[in-house]
A = this chain, B = another copy of it.
Protein backbone atom coordinates (compact mmCIF):
# COMPACT_ATOMS: atom_id res chain seq x y z
CA UNK A 1 0.00 0.00 0.00
CA UNK A 2 1.53 3.34 -1.03
CA UNK A 3 1.71 6.36 1.24
CA UNK A 4 -0.93 8.18 -0.79
CA UNK A 5 -3.38 5.38 -0.27
CA UNK A 6 -2.60 5.25 3.43
CA UNK A 7 -3.15 8.97 3.66
CA UNK A 8 -6.42 8.71 1.78
CA UNK A 9 -7.75 6.51 4.60
CA UNK A 10 -6.65 8.92 7.33
CA UNK A 11 -9.25 10.87 9.24
CA UNK A 12 -8.01 14.37 8.53
CA UNK A 13 -9.88 15.74 11.48
CA UNK A 14 -7.80 13.78 13.91
CA UNK A 15 -4.27 13.79 12.56
CA UNK A 16 -1.55 13.19 15.17
CA UNK A 17 2.14 13.92 14.73
CA UNK A 18 4.96 11.63 15.86
CA UNK A 19 8.71 11.86 16.21
CA UNK A 20 11.56 10.03 17.88
CA UNK A 21 12.43 11.09 21.44
CA UNK A 22 15.74 12.81 20.76
CA UNK A 23 17.49 15.57 18.75
CA UNK A 24 14.84 18.31 18.54
CA UNK A 25 11.86 16.46 19.92
CA UNK A 26 11.08 18.84 22.80
CA UNK A 27 10.76 21.64 20.28
CA UNK A 28 8.69 19.53 17.88
CA UNK A 29 6.30 18.34 20.60
CA UNK A 30 6.03 21.92 21.83
CA UNK A 31 5.27 23.19 18.33
CA UNK A 32 2.69 20.45 17.75
CA UNK A 33 0.97 21.40 20.98
CA UNK A 34 0.93 25.10 20.08
CA UNK A 35 -0.89 24.27 16.85
CA UNK A 36 -3.45 22.08 18.61
CA UNK A 37 -2.40 18.63 17.41
CA UNK A 38 -1.82 15.57 19.57
CA UNK A 39 1.69 14.12 19.57
CA UNK A 40 3.34 10.72 19.88
CA UNK A 41 6.89 10.23 21.16
CA UNK A 42 8.67 7.17 19.84
CA UNK A 43 11.23 5.80 22.30
CA UNK A 44 13.34 2.70 22.75
CA UNK A 45 12.81 0.34 25.65
CA UNK A 46 11.31 2.62 28.27
CA UNK A 47 9.59 5.95 28.46
CA UNK A 48 12.24 8.68 28.92
CA UNK A 49 11.76 10.35 32.28
CA UNK A 50 13.18 13.75 31.36
CA UNK A 51 10.04 14.81 29.49
CA UNK A 52 8.31 14.95 32.86
CA UNK A 53 10.43 18.01 33.58
CA UNK A 54 9.08 19.84 30.52
CA UNK A 55 5.28 19.71 30.50
CA UNK A 56 5.10 21.92 27.39
CA UNK A 57 7.57 19.74 25.47
CA UNK A 58 6.12 16.39 26.44
CA UNK A 59 4.35 14.22 23.88
CA UNK A 60 0.73 13.34 24.62
CA UNK A 61 1.51 9.67 24.27
CA UNK A 62 4.55 7.42 23.99
CA UNK A 63 5.11 4.47 21.69
CA UNK A 64 7.83 2.26 23.10
CA UNK A 65 9.61 0.19 20.47
CA UNK A 66 12.45 -2.31 20.55
CA UNK A 67 14.41 -0.65 17.82
CA UNK A 68 13.92 2.28 15.48
CA UNK A 69 14.81 -0.06 12.68
CA UNK A 70 11.57 -1.97 13.23
CA UNK A 71 9.16 0.92 13.16
CA UNK A 72 7.32 -0.50 10.17
CA UNK A 73 6.14 -3.30 12.42
CA UNK A 74 4.16 -0.69 14.33
CA UNK A 75 2.53 0.73 11.20
CA UNK A 76 -0.96 -0.29 12.27
CA UNK A 77 -0.57 1.79 15.42
CA UNK A 78 0.36 4.85 13.40
CA UNK A 79 -2.50 4.31 10.97
CA UNK A 80 -5.00 4.05 13.79
CA UNK A 81 -3.68 7.33 15.16
CA UNK A 82 -3.76 8.97 11.71
CA UNK A 83 -0.14 9.76 12.44
CA UNK A 84 2.40 11.66 10.38
CA UNK A 85 6.05 11.22 11.32
CA UNK A 86 8.38 14.22 11.50
CA UNK A 87 11.87 12.91 10.79
CA UNK A 88 14.93 14.57 12.31
CA UNK A 89 18.59 13.74 11.95
CA UNK A 90 18.73 11.25 14.82
CA UNK A 91 15.55 9.52 13.69
CA UNK A 92 17.02 8.89 10.25
CA UNK A 93 20.37 7.86 11.73
CA UNK A 94 18.78 5.47 14.24
CA UNK A 95 16.59 3.86 11.59
CA UNK A 96 19.30 3.63 8.98
CA UNK A 97 18.88 5.13 5.52
CA UNK A 98 17.54 1.94 3.96
CA UNK A 99 14.89 1.41 6.58
CA UNK A 100 13.92 5.07 6.43
CA UNK A 101 13.37 4.89 2.68
CA UNK A 102 11.14 1.86 3.20
CA UNK A 103 9.17 3.51 5.99
CA UNK A 104 5.49 2.69 5.49
CA UNK A 105 4.24 5.56 7.61
CA UNK A 106 3.36 8.96 6.17
CA UNK A 107 6.40 11.16 6.70
CA UNK A 108 6.63 14.95 6.59
CA UNK A 109 8.83 16.08 3.70
CA UNK A 110 10.22 14.28 0.69
CA UNK A 111 12.00 11.06 1.66
CA UNK A 112 13.85 11.06 -1.65
CA UNK A 113 16.03 13.95 -0.44
CA UNK A 114 17.93 11.55 1.78
CA UNK A 115 20.14 10.05 -0.88
CA UNK A 116 20.94 13.50 -2.23
CA UNK A 117 22.24 14.77 1.07
CA UNK A 118 23.95 11.60 2.31
CA UNK A 119 25.91 10.86 -0.84
CA UNK A 120 28.78 13.31 -1.23
CA UNK A 121 28.80 13.32 -4.99
CA UNK A 122 25.05 13.80 -5.27
CA UNK A 123 25.10 16.50 -2.60
CA UNK A 124 27.73 18.33 -4.64
CA UNK A 125 25.78 17.84 -7.86
CA UNK A 126 22.75 19.36 -6.15
CA UNK A 127 24.44 22.31 -4.45
CA UNK A 128 26.94 23.22 -7.14
CA UNK A 129 24.15 22.69 -9.66
CA UNK A 130 22.29 25.36 -7.71
CA UNK A 131 25.23 27.70 -8.12
CA UNK A 132 26.52 27.46 -4.56
CA UNK A 133 30.22 27.68 -3.83
CA UNK A 134 31.54 24.58 -2.10
CA UNK A 135 34.99 23.74 -0.79
CA UNK A 136 37.30 22.69 -3.57
CA UNK A 137 38.18 19.02 -3.92
CA UNK A 138 41.89 18.29 -4.22
CA UNK A 139 42.39 15.17 -6.30
CA UNK A 140 46.14 14.88 -5.99
CA UNK A 141 47.50 15.16 -2.47
CA UNK A 142 50.73 16.61 -3.87
CA UNK A 143 48.66 19.62 -4.84
CA UNK A 144 47.91 20.55 -1.22
CA UNK A 145 49.16 24.12 -1.12
CA UNK A 146 46.81 25.45 1.52
CA UNK A 147 44.96 24.04 4.54
CA UNK A 148 42.73 21.09 3.79
CA UNK A 149 40.35 18.89 5.68
CA UNK A 150 40.70 15.20 4.95
CA UNK A 151 37.59 13.10 5.49
CA UNK A 152 37.54 9.31 5.46
CA UNK A 153 34.53 7.84 3.76
CA UNK A 154 31.73 7.03 6.13
CA UNK A 155 33.18 9.36 8.74
CA UNK A 156 30.43 10.18 11.20
CA UNK A 157 29.61 12.17 14.23
CA UNK A 158 32.54 14.55 13.97
CA UNK A 159 35.32 11.97 13.77
CA UNK A 160 37.33 10.53 10.94
CA UNK A 161 38.50 13.99 9.87
CA UNK A 162 41.85 15.63 10.07
CA UNK A 163 43.26 18.96 9.08
CA UNK A 164 46.54 19.30 7.19
CA UNK A 165 48.38 22.46 6.32
CA UNK A 166 50.44 21.02 3.48
CA UNK A 167 51.44 17.85 1.69
CA UNK A 168 54.05 17.06 4.33
CA UNK A 169 51.52 17.05 7.12
CA UNK A 170 49.01 15.14 5.01
CA UNK A 171 51.57 12.42 4.35
CA UNK A 172 52.37 12.11 8.01
CA UNK A 173 48.73 11.69 9.01
CA UNK A 174 46.99 9.83 6.26
CA UNK A 175 45.89 6.24 6.65
CA UNK A 176 46.04 5.13 3.04
CA UNK A 177 44.23 1.88 3.72
CA UNK A 178 40.94 3.77 4.01
CA UNK A 179 39.27 5.70 1.19
CA UNK A 180 39.26 9.47 1.78
CA UNK A 181 38.52 12.81 0.22
CA UNK A 182 40.64 15.96 0.41
CA UNK A 183 38.77 19.25 0.65
CA UNK A 184 39.83 22.86 0.93
CA UNK A 185 39.54 24.04 4.55
CA UNK A 186 37.14 26.98 4.44
CA UNK A 187 38.49 29.99 6.30
CA UNK A 188 35.99 32.35 7.86
CA UNK A 189 33.15 32.19 10.37
CA UNK A 190 30.46 29.48 10.45
CA UNK A 191 26.74 30.15 10.09
CA UNK A 192 24.15 27.37 10.01
CA UNK A 193 21.13 28.86 8.26
CA UNK A 194 17.72 27.35 9.06
CA UNK A 195 15.45 27.60 6.02
CA UNK A 196 11.88 26.43 5.57
CA UNK A 197 10.32 25.82 2.19
CA UNK A 198 6.56 25.61 1.92
CA UNK A 199 5.12 24.49 -1.39
CA UNK A 200 1.72 25.64 -0.11
CA UNK A 201 2.21 29.16 1.19
CA UNK A 202 1.22 31.68 -1.43
CA UNK A 203 2.71 34.87 -0.05
CA UNK A 204 6.11 35.84 1.31
CA UNK A 205 9.34 35.26 -0.58
CA UNK A 206 8.05 33.30 -3.55
CA UNK A 207 9.93 30.28 -4.88
CA UNK A 208 8.16 28.17 -7.52
CA UNK A 209 4.55 27.79 -6.36
CA UNK A 210 5.46 28.23 -2.74
CA UNK A 211 7.38 30.36 -0.30
CA UNK A 212 10.83 30.32 1.32
CA UNK A 213 11.55 31.43 4.87
CA UNK A 214 14.64 31.86 7.04
CA UNK A 215 13.62 31.02 10.59
CA UNK A 216 16.92 31.24 12.46
CA UNK A 217 20.69 30.83 12.40
CA UNK A 218 23.01 29.07 14.83
CA UNK A 219 26.61 28.00 15.22
CA UNK A 220 27.39 24.44 16.17
CA UNK A 221 29.56 23.93 19.19
CA UNK A 222 31.94 21.07 18.60
CA UNK A 223 34.14 19.09 20.99
CA UNK A 224 37.00 19.37 21.21
CA UNK A 225 37.76 21.82 18.38
CA UNK A 226 35.76 24.79 19.66
CA UNK A 227 37.40 25.10 23.04
CA UNK A 228 40.78 23.57 22.26
CA UNK A 229 42.32 27.04 22.08
CA UNK A 230 41.95 27.36 25.83
CA UNK A 231 44.73 24.80 26.05
CA UNK A 232 46.81 25.53 22.96
CA UNK A 233 46.83 25.69 19.19
CA UNK A 234 45.81 22.64 17.17
CA UNK A 235 49.41 21.78 16.40
CA UNK A 236 50.43 22.20 20.04
CA UNK A 237 47.58 19.89 20.99
CA UNK A 238 48.69 17.30 18.49
CA UNK A 239 52.10 17.36 20.09
CA UNK A 240 50.38 16.49 23.36
CA UNK A 241 48.68 13.59 21.61
CA UNK A 242 45.29 15.29 21.45
CA UNK A 243 43.61 15.13 18.06
CA UNK A 244 41.07 17.74 17.07
CA UNK A 245 37.54 16.36 16.77
CA UNK A 246 34.30 17.87 15.55
CA UNK A 247 31.60 16.19 17.64
CA UNK A 248 28.54 18.42 18.02
CA UNK A 249 27.76 18.95 21.69
CA UNK A 250 25.44 21.94 21.46
CA UNK A 251 24.54 25.15 19.69
CA UNK A 252 25.09 28.89 20.11
CA UNK A 253 22.71 31.58 18.84
CA UNK A 254 23.93 34.04 16.23
CA UNK A 255 22.69 36.53 13.65
CA UNK A 256 24.27 37.30 10.32
CA UNK A 257 25.16 40.68 8.85
CA UNK A 258 21.92 41.94 7.33
CA UNK A 259 23.51 42.88 4.02
CA UNK A 260 24.09 39.18 3.38
CA UNK A 261 20.39 38.33 3.50
CA UNK A 262 19.66 38.86 -0.21
CA UNK A 263 22.40 36.35 -0.99
CA UNK A 264 21.10 33.97 1.71
CA UNK A 265 17.63 33.95 0.17
CA UNK A 266 18.96 33.66 -3.36
CA UNK A 267 20.99 30.61 -2.29
CA UNK A 268 18.01 28.98 -0.63
CA UNK A 269 15.86 29.66 -3.63
CA UNK A 270 18.25 27.96 -6.00
CA UNK A 271 18.63 24.96 -3.70
CA UNK A 272 14.85 24.51 -3.70
CA UNK A 273 14.54 24.96 -7.44
CA UNK A 274 17.33 22.48 -8.14
CA UNK A 275 15.77 19.97 -5.75
CA UNK A 276 12.62 19.95 -7.86
CA UNK A 277 14.67 19.47 -10.97
CA UNK A 278 16.62 16.56 -9.47
CA UNK A 279 14.26 14.62 -7.21
CA UNK A 280 10.82 16.08 -6.83
CA UNK A 281 11.66 18.83 -4.38
CA UNK A 282 12.58 19.57 -0.81
CA UNK A 283 9.73 20.35 1.56
CA UNK A 284 9.91 21.89 5.04
CA UNK A 285 13.05 22.72 7.00
CA UNK A 286 16.59 22.46 5.66
CA UNK A 287 19.90 23.92 6.74
CA UNK A 288 22.80 25.28 4.74
CA UNK A 289 26.01 24.97 6.72
CA UNK A 290 28.15 27.85 5.63
CA UNK A 291 31.37 29.70 6.13
CA UNK A 292 31.38 33.45 5.54
CA UNK A 293 34.78 34.62 4.38
CA UNK A 294 36.38 37.99 4.99
CA UNK A 295 35.42 38.82 1.41
CA UNK A 296 31.82 38.31 2.56
CA UNK A 297 31.42 35.35 0.28
CA UNK A 298 29.15 32.60 1.62
CA UNK A 299 30.56 29.13 1.01
CA UNK A 300 28.56 26.00 1.75
CA UNK A 301 30.13 22.85 3.14
CA UNK A 302 27.01 20.79 3.75
CA UNK A 303 23.23 20.63 3.61
CA UNK A 304 20.92 19.01 6.16
CA UNK A 305 17.61 18.29 4.55
CA UNK A 306 15.44 18.33 7.64
CA UNK A 307 15.13 20.07 11.01
CA UNK A 308 18.53 20.63 12.64
CA UNK A 309 19.22 20.70 16.38
CA UNK A 310 20.39 24.32 16.15
CA UNK A 311 16.73 25.30 16.00
CA UNK A 312 16.44 24.13 19.63
CA UNK A 313 17.77 27.53 20.64
CA UNK A 314 14.66 29.13 19.20
CA UNK A 315 11.79 27.30 20.81
CA UNK A 316 10.14 30.67 21.51
CA UNK A 317 11.13 32.55 18.40
CA UNK A 318 14.30 34.01 16.94
CA UNK A 319 15.45 37.37 15.57
CA UNK A 320 14.25 36.14 12.16
CA UNK A 321 11.15 34.06 12.99
CA UNK A 322 9.77 36.86 15.16
CA UNK A 323 9.47 38.96 12.00
CA UNK A 324 7.11 36.34 10.60
CA UNK A 325 5.15 35.53 13.76
CA UNK A 326 6.37 36.36 17.27
CA UNK A 327 7.51 33.26 19.11
CA UNK A 328 7.50 30.94 16.08
CA UNK A 329 9.79 27.88 16.21
CA UNK A 330 10.72 25.51 13.41
CA UNK A 331 8.81 22.77 15.23
CA UNK A 332 5.71 24.93 15.30
CA UNK A 333 6.23 25.90 11.66
CA UNK A 334 6.17 22.22 10.67
CA UNK A 335 2.89 21.77 12.53
CA UNK A 336 1.50 24.86 10.79
CA UNK A 337 2.42 23.42 7.40
CA UNK A 338 0.60 20.19 8.19
CA UNK A 339 -2.39 22.20 9.36
CA UNK A 340 -2.41 24.23 6.17
CA UNK A 341 -2.17 21.08 4.07
CA UNK A 342 -5.12 19.55 5.93
CA UNK A 343 -7.19 22.69 5.47
CA UNK A 344 -6.44 22.78 1.74
CA UNK A 345 -6.65 19.00 1.36
CA UNK A 346 -3.07 18.83 0.12
CA UNK A 347 -1.36 16.50 2.56
CA UNK A 348 -0.01 14.52 -0.41
CA UNK A 349 2.08 17.50 -1.41
CA UNK A 350 4.06 17.65 1.82
CA UNK A 351 4.05 14.04 2.97
CA UNK A 352 5.74 10.99 1.42
**Chain A interface (Cβ < 8 Å from any Cβ of B):** 22-27, 30, 48-50, 52-57, 90, 146-147, 158-159, 163, 165-166, 185, 187-191, 203-206, 211-214, 217, 219, 221-236, 240-242, 244-245, 247-262, 264-265, 292-296, 309, 312-317, 319-320, 322-326
Contacts and interface: CB of A to CB of B under 8 A. Distances in A.
Nearest to A54: B323
B24 A224 contact: no
Please list the 10 inter-chain residue pairs (A to B) with the smallest Cβ-Cβ separation, ordered nearest first: A54-B323, A233-B233, A53-B205, A57-B323, A229-B229, A245-B294, A247-B294, A188-B223, A249-B292, A223-B294
Q: Could you say which of A229, A245, A258, A260 has the most chain B C-beta atoms within 10 Å of its C-beta?
A: A258
Contacts of A313: 253, 255, 319
A11 to B, nearest CB: 29
Contact of A315 (B50, B227, B232, B322): B322
14 contacts: A49-B205, A53-B212, A54-B320, A54-B324, A56-B323, A56-B326, A163-B231, A165-B232, A188-B224, A189-B222, A191-B250, A225-B230, A230-B244, A250-B292
A262 B258 CA distance: 32
Given A52-B204, A147-B231, A206-B52, A254 B258 contact: no
Given A205-B53, A236-B233, A249-B292, A221 B254 contact: yes
Contacts of A245: 294
A222 B294 CA distance: 8
A223 B30 contact: no
A62 to B, nearest CB: 14
A196 to B, nearest CB: 10
Given A232-B165, A241-B146, A26 B258 contact: yes
